[in-house]
Structure 1
Amino acid sequence: MAETKVTSMDVAVRAGVSQSAVSRVFTPGASASKKTVEKVRKAAAELGYRPNILARAMVSGKSRMIGLVVAYLENYFYPEALEKLSNALQAQGYHVLVFMASQTAVGIDAVVEEILDYQVDGIVFASVAMSSDIAERCEQAGVPVVLFNRYEDREGVTSVTSDNVAGGRKVADFLLAGGHSRIAYIAGWEGASTQRDREAGFLAGLRAAGADLFARGVGNFNLDQARNAARGMFDRPDRPDAVFVANDHMAFAVMDVIRFELGLSVPGDVSVVGYDDVPPAAWPAYDLTSVRQRANRMVEETVNALLSRIEDPDAVAGKIVIDGPLIVRGSARGANPHPGSEAIAQKGRNE
């Protein structure tokens, strides 16, 4: 015979409190005295009671769940940032459901439909490009959306990114100040706003100084493709003397090819600069100069923007852009035109 399920009324009787008091104890943000909380949780533990979150959501209209959509986790930046994002949302009393999606519209559409079936209160898209159809579908369902480390060129979509244009410009200024004359670029996935903006800022910086891009490859934020791009770019007599790689994930692969396959020196023969400032960038094996994405600030702004829109559906959407410093290390030679960078590096990576 199946055991009878323990109810909140059973807990209330055991604890000697009202059923509403039990409900308050298990409702994030609700008020209950310390004594009541202790009695209720003790009774719940003794009876093996667990609150029915889905049932509560049906009554309140709020699931206290957030959908988090991620396209890929190979880049070191995302596991770390998403852990911070999950912890920040949980601290606000929300449960986080993580969904993996491909970058194709069909794949993302399918994931969004599944997420909406869970009656989530909001969705964060990380490293995912969102179509207008998906944005409209979420809006019709009354589910606010925030893009993390991506943005869309349309009204009504909230996004949080680093200032990728300014970051690319800082790299150009730095390499030019170091006396480099054959400067190359290895692009990420060209459908990503981060890639487009980093390259746009980089090229603008070169043009402002009267310089041209010497060579260009495409790595698509993929290790194997980044390696192939590096081989084609550097296994030749007229190779670049510096390269800006669209993220650190690819920059590590590029450095490995330059040093271990082609026998060149970094930075003696080639200066390498990345973007993100992920933990391995500071490892002695890479010592990579990189533009830092301020993960803590980006997470804070994402959570604030999402909760604001959950609490007020009429809250104005906007693009939040966060500046990041150039962190100068040993992978690139030359003068540093941003004297604050090294001091910032000593404060910790994720300020």
Structure 2
Amino acid sequence: MSQKIFVSAKEVADRAGVSRSAVSRTFTPGASVSAETRRRVLEAAEALGYHVNHLARGLMRNESGLVCLIVSEMDTPYRASLIRAISRHLQNASKIAMLINTDRSDRSVDEALKLAISYRADASIVLSGMPEKSITDLCVKSGQRLVLINRDEERAGALMINLRDQEAARQAFIAFQRAGCRSFAFANSDVGTPSLMAREEGFCAAGREFGVDVIVERFGATRYQSGVVLAQRLLTREVRPDAIFCANDLLACGLMDTARHQFKLAVPDDLCVVGFDDIEQTSWSSYQLTTFAQPVDRIAEEAVLWLSQPMTDSGRFCRMTPDLVWRESVRGG
């Protein structure tokens, strides 16, 4: 089978009987070209199957239009929704997303990023607190622009997007109090990302503020099965909590299923639960989980808007407030 050869702008120009620059102006928004020339060029392009090489055009301006999305746990519902939103906004801004999976924090991550840099990506968006700081060091050294989401790292010239996690945790504690709960627990993973730890610290701080000791349990990855184990640990304690704030919704779903099916507890009559992220599953009739909604679309919009503006040496912090979504896993919700 012969190799497919891409049609060049010169071939279009020859077929249309115009200059090479006329073809370029035809496919450049706002450029001056007569109606007749435009018609001839478009007819020739359609007949030959010509498409503009935006990558080559961008490299002539020292811009590739490529943006690396550096992601861990990309198969989780929240992360998938964030990837979907960011990639959509990038496409609307005529940019292309290049996905780098960083589930393994070893040399393979650096090699994958170096490969992306070799394609002259303009920027990187780090969607997680998990990748090592050395990864963002590499981005900066390559001259990329940076957007850091839910990390505690500060970078000159970068946009740093964080949630007000501690404030949300305090709100969850007060919601439990108003529901008449007396024994409070926080269910976390062992991952230890800045956002997860901020929720834990905020919930414990609220307990101290109101003179209440908060039980903390941590286990495994931030996934459904870890919620099962956390429920087993918390609900077999001598003093069983009647209010559990989970670091994310996947933990909460695993915890709720275990509480109801293994321990025969009724939610919310025997146990109140709050999650975080507002993934699709939380609205299912099986859960009806009260949770905090991550402003996914706004995060994506702010990130892409920042990358579309002129580069600056000064960075910017953007802090967003997650909304509490009331459902049926808290009494009075």
Alignment gaps of 5+ in structure 1 = 337-351
What is residue 240 of structure 2 aligned with on the other side? 239
Q: Shift of residue 299 of structure 1?
A: 1.1
**Structure 1 residues 17 and 105: alpha-carbon distance in aligned structure 2, compared to 1, 3 A threshold:** same
Q: How does 1:83-122 map to 2 (within 5 A)?
A: 83-122=84-123
Q: Shift of residue 221 of structure 1?
A: 0.6
**Structure 1 residues 17 and 10: alpha-carbon distance in aligned structure 2, compared to 1, 3 A threshold:** same
Contact 1:235 / 1:262 at 8 angstroms: preserved in 2?
Answer: no
Letter of the 2:320 partner, please give it: I
Q: TM-score, normalised by structure 2?
A: 0.89
Alpha-carbon distance in 2 for matches of 1:128, 1:45:
46
Alpha-carbon distance in 1 for matches of 2:331, 2:39:
61
Q: Is residue 60 from structure 1 mapped to residue 61 from structure 2 by the alignment?
A: yes
Tell me the C-alpha RMSD between the 2 structures: 2.5
Q: Shift of residue 171 of structure 1?
A: 0.8
What is residue 195 of structure 1 aligned with on the other side? 196
Which secondary structure state, in structure 1, belongs to the residue aligned with residue 124 of structure 2? strand
Q: Is residue 278 from structure 1 mapped to residue 276 from structure 2 by the alignment?
A: no
What is residue 19 of structure 1 aligned with on the other side? 20
**Structure 1 residues 135 and 215: alpha-carbon distance in aligned structure 2, compared to 1, 3 A threshold:** closer
Contact 1:187 / 1:216 at 8 angstroms: preserved in 2?
Answer: yes
CA-to-aligned-CA distance 1:108-161 (integer Å, 9 cap, x gap) = 322221211110111111124344433332222111111123341555542212
**Structure 1 residues 283 and 6: alpha-carbon distance in aligned structure 2, compared to 1, 3 A threshold:** same
Moved more, 98-107 or 139-148: 98-107
Contact 2:227 / 2:250 at 8 angstroms: preserved in 1?
Answer: no
Contact 1:189 / 1:220 at 8 angstroms: preserved in 2?
Answer: yes
What is residue 343 of structure 1 aligned with on the other side? none
**Structure 1 residues 57 and 306: alpha-carbon distance in aligned structure 2, compared to 1, 3 A threshold:** closer
Q: How does 1:6-155 map to 2 (within 5 A)?
A: 6-26=7-27, 31=31, 35=35, 39-153=40-154
What is residue 329 of structure 2 aligned with on the other side? 331
Residue-pair matches, total:
331
Alpha-carbon distance in 1 for matches of 2:252, 2:331:
16
Contact 2:66 / 2:122 at 8 angstroms: preserved in 1?
Answer: yes
Alpha-carbon distance in 2 for matches of 1:209, 1:261:
32
**Structure 1 residues 2 and 208: alpha-carbon distance in aligned structure 2, compared to 1, 3 A threshold:** closer
Which secondary structure state, in structure 1, belongs to the residue aligned with residue 273 of structure 2? strand
Identical amino acids, percent of aligned pairs: 29
Moved more, 276-285 or 55-64: 55-64
Alpha-carbon distance in 2 for matches of 1:72, 1:218:
16
Letter of the 2:82 partner, please give it: A
CA-to-aligned-CA distance 1:304-346 (integer Å, 9 cap, x gap) = 22223xx32x242122110122111101114x6xxxxxxxxxx
Letter of the 1:251 partner, please give it: A
**Structure 1 residues 272 and 42: alpha-carbon distance in aligned structure 2, compared to 1, 3 A threshold:** farther
Contact 1:220 / 1:226 at 8 angstroms: preserved in 2?
Answer: no
Alpha-carbon distance in 2 for matches of 1:82, 1:59:
29
Alpha-carbon distance in 1 for matches of 2:27, 2:129:
34
Alpha-carbon distance in 1 for matches of 2:41, 2:314:
41
Q: Shift of residue 81 of structure 1?
A: 1.9
Moved more, 286-295 or 254-263: 254-263
Alignment gaps of 5+ in structure 2 = none
Letter of the 2:315 partner, please give it: A
What is residue 345 of structure 1 aligned with on the other side? none
Q: Shift of residue 229 of structure 1?
A: 1.5
Alpha-carbon distance in 1 for matches of 2:245, 2:183:
11
Which secondary structure state, in structure 2, belongs to the residue aligned with residue 173 of structure 1? helix
Which secondary structure state, in structure 2, belongs to the residue aligned with residue 238 of structure 1? coil
Alpha-carbon distance in 2 for matches of 1:198, 1:37:
58
Q: How does 1:205-224 map to 2 (within 5 A)?
A: 205-224=206-225
What is residue 291 of structure 1 aligned with on the other side? 292
